[in-house]
Structure 1
Amino acid sequence: MWRYRITRLLSRKYPELVIPDGLAAEGSSKRDWNRFLDIHYRRGWNVNVSRVMDNATHVAVYSGSYLKKPPVPMSRLEHYASQDEIGLLYNSHRTKREEYLLMSGDEFMERFSWHVADKGGRMVRFYGFLSPAKRRLLEEVVYVITETVRKTARQITLRGIYQRLLKVDPLKCVLCGSQMRFTGLKRGYRLTELVVMHEPLARMRWCG
């Protein structure tokens, strides 16, 4: 039954097949192609099947770790059709632009497998002097050679972010305008109790 299905599929998909040069004579026409399939259908077939893996569970677990965080984010997958078509957005290093690629499911899985490292190995994006460890060591040398003044990043505090967004200083008392400082933490007060204690709080006195 399975041989019949294979030969029927090859016959039905004849217009879409890419006939290799070795079968150019047999595939010159659909009639010749069907005759070729019919002859081989009657013969015995030798099928090369890979040996069943003894550690299929370990292989599935190892590959599953890459499926949790794949090399291609799900946001890049733009399209998936039932006709086994996958549309992918990617940044081309050649054109420096975002391009769209349409491929089959088998081709997508083949390219995906390229990013799965062998057992005990790691995928390295940058190596040599471009590796993060070496880059930190060479930063000081690069600054000296290029005579570049290294700029220190300005430290942004939560207070500064609050002031920039809300235009209000969170450490300034809304009642007297004095600068507040943290002296302690008390929990469990109701809003009415806090309103009553507003003066001691503004004067930095311990309440409760």
Structure 2
Amino acid sequence: MALAKLSSSMFFSMPIETLKKGTLASRFTLIDENTPTLTAIYLHIEGGKVAFIGTDQHRIYRYISDVVIDDPEKFQDAIISDIYLKGAVDLIKSQKVDVAIDTSYLVMRDNTTVYFGRLLEGIYPKISHIVDKKDDDEAMGIQVSRGEMFDTLNRMLSLNGVENNRITLEIDSEVVTVHSQSLTGEICEVFPGAFSALLGKLYAIDWVVYCKKPFKSPFHVVKYLSRYTHKTAISNSRLTVMSKEAVTFQYRDYKDNGKVKPMTLDAMEFIRRFMQHVLPSGFQRIRYYGFLSNCNRKTKLTTCLRLTQRVVKPKVKLTAKELIWKLTGKDLSKCPSCGGNWHQILSIVPQIE
């Protein structure tokens, strides 16, 4: 088998520690050879530096080294078997390694030995939209020491049964906690102060809330929102047929000129959709802020009305009958059949025979 001839100008030098960090991506690759590119480590250029990526489509390992490539346009991206790359790197004893990549091979050489491996064919999944690094001024992520996090993840991945290892990231008050648990052990480590750093960055931004202009008027906006804040998910009048197995209701099909159509759902599916409109415990539909918040409403709302020279009307408590009349226009004192007044029956006189 003839190998491609590589000139010295095609090689670039890389510390062995950098290669070892890059090959840690092998812990995140797939074992299933039906998708060969995901069993490999992807070498490419990011920001003019050599980078390593490994993924199983659920987790991503990305390491951007300090090795700068003078002419990134001439750099050949490589998809290389993780088993080969890690095995070769583990055998190298030199502190620095010369690396070259052509269209078919990745070659590494130290003082005494040359290692080479054939590149895999195919296209590596594009994940730049997931892991793209933003400028420091735009970054909103929590920042912790890369070295500390790297050492923490190494300790966690060292647990036996790594395929069953689950690592979670939790943010609580002032502390970022990284927790790892597998069938054989458990590790929990914290990074104090990281959350405070994030809050400080967020508070330093002059936030501007964008409120889009309503289509008609503020009244229509409030009326639209009130349907979701003060009413149930579906009114009884829309329910047409109900049984133990299914529910039929009416809906408006806006794709068909707003025509009202019937829809029948399995009873459990109807309940599932209905429950999506029920807030979990501890959540509120409406939260009041500023002068309308609960602690300020009585004092500051009165002050706002006085400053705007609005008449403060005394609050009148309505009876249930008056409230229903105001909201629905229905008079509970009138009989819905004949329209006459209701009469209170004190007692029934027994019939005299």
Q: State TM-score, norm by structure 2.
A: 0.16
Structure (1 or 2) with the greater strand fraction: 2
Structure (1 or 2) with the greater helix fraction: 1
Q: State TM-score, norm by structure 1.
A: 0.23
